Structure 1
């Protein structure tokens, strides 16, 4: 018997909720891996959102210019870029999970939370 891909304690609230809403006992190993990664990405996006919308010191800072103590440079963290790229990957993963669920036939009477995306 194989070990589960993810320890439920691994996820923050958002990732845990996504993992629980997408997982079914009948999921293949591949589907579980996709869902696990989607939950991890959800948690990363939540952390990036808090960074971007929170304390400015977290994502940008003023530093002395190289060789000139009278000039300051603005250094911007890559959080904004990373959030945009990660959101694209997240959408693609959710679409892949939905496609695989549809390809498996799924239960047509069962509510699929991905239909709301």
Structure 2
């Protein structure tokens, strides 16, 4: 026997996913204001707290749309699936942009780190 009406569980999950997405800008805003020092040095505890808020915002921003897509599929709600897919795509794009923007490759050493032999018998070693 097949039920035509959806259960309350996917509806609750879909509503929860939309509400969780509202928490993302709040967490990002709190993280931003945690780093504001007004001219003083940034305390290590404030940096750690700010980083934790951003990680929480990132986790919610990825998990909530995935739950929303699953609940929309369960409810057969095409609109919800489309909206949550767009939100997930934007989240992934912004996350990749942030990673690329903050990644700084290590600079190569200007000096050799080991001895180099030269023809003619001379060696050049670092620090000599």
TM-score, normalisation: structure 2: 0.44
Q: Which has the larger radius of gyration?
A: 2
Q: Which structure shows the higher helix fraction?
A: 2
Q: Which structure shows the higher strand fraction?
A: 1
